Amino acid sequence: METKLLSARGNDSDINIHLYFETERLSVRQYMLSDIDKLYQIMSDVRIHIYTKDKNNPWDKRRTEEYIRFMLDKDFKTLDCFHGAVIEKSTNQLIGLCGLNPYKADAPEIEFKIGVPYWRKGYATELGKHMIKASFEATDIKGIYGMAQLENRASRKVLEKIGMKYLGDQIFRNHEVSFYYIANLR
């Protein structure tokens, strides 16, 4: 199942971008080059990276641009592996990123990062639940993994709220993390 196409205005020309999915308050779409500044504002905040491999290395503008260009080059159109811009519908503002990263065959890793001003609004839970549902409906993946550092209670709570089951702790990317999983039962 392919994602929907949206027409958008970007860099002084009309372009078609992929809309991966929508929730009640959010939409997730393909990146545009015009997203660089806003995503940089989010990803340069050290608080976003407290519990990530980038803990001491918040993104600079060059890295943000490279990330967006890489994602545009990949031109993801399906929900088995993708990264997209998270847009708050009420303001049409980019507030974060999300996606499914390759992890195991037929079982990707869920990822989302929401800008600090948008924390504690239930966006991560809303996003995660819908990302799982949409991905299971549109693809043949067998399940989705989630990982969170032991100290990251907020992310662990979100993974549980979106229906993932705790599998235990193990070393991943040089950190001890809690592993979660949800199976595609359809």
Closest Cα partner for 22 from 126, 158, 163?
Answer: 126
Has residue 13 got a pLDDT over 70? no
CA angle in degrees (0–180, nearest 5) for 44-49-53: 120
Report pLDDT digits (tens) over 100-145: 999 998 999 999 999 999 999 999 999 999 999 999 999 999 999 9
Residue-level pLDDT at 15: 64
Residues near 49 by beta carbon (within 8 Å), at least 6 away in sequence: 55, 56, 57, 58
Tell me, what DSSP letter sits at residue 47? G
Residue-level pLDDT at 57: 82
Half-sphere exposure at residue 131, Cβ-oriented, CA atoms within 13 angstroms? 37
Burial class (CB within 10 angstroms; exposed 0-12, middle 13-18, buried 19+) of 58: middle
Has residue 10 got a pLDDT over 90? no
Beta bridge partners of 119: none
- Cα 29–chain centre separation: 11
Beta bridge partners of 149: 177
Alpha carbons 161 and 110: distance in angstroms, whole number = 14
Identity of residue 140: D
CA angle in degrees (0–180, nearest 5) for 110-115-117: 140
Report pLDDT digits (tens) over 72-88: 999 988 899 999 999 99
List phi, psi (to 5°) of 160.
-70, -40
pLDDT-derived band at 4 (thresholds 50, 70, 90) equals low
pTM for this entry:
0.89
**Whether the Cβ atoms of residue 164 and residue 129 lie closer than 8 Å to each other:** no
Domains and CATH numbers, the chain: 4-183 (3.40.630.30)
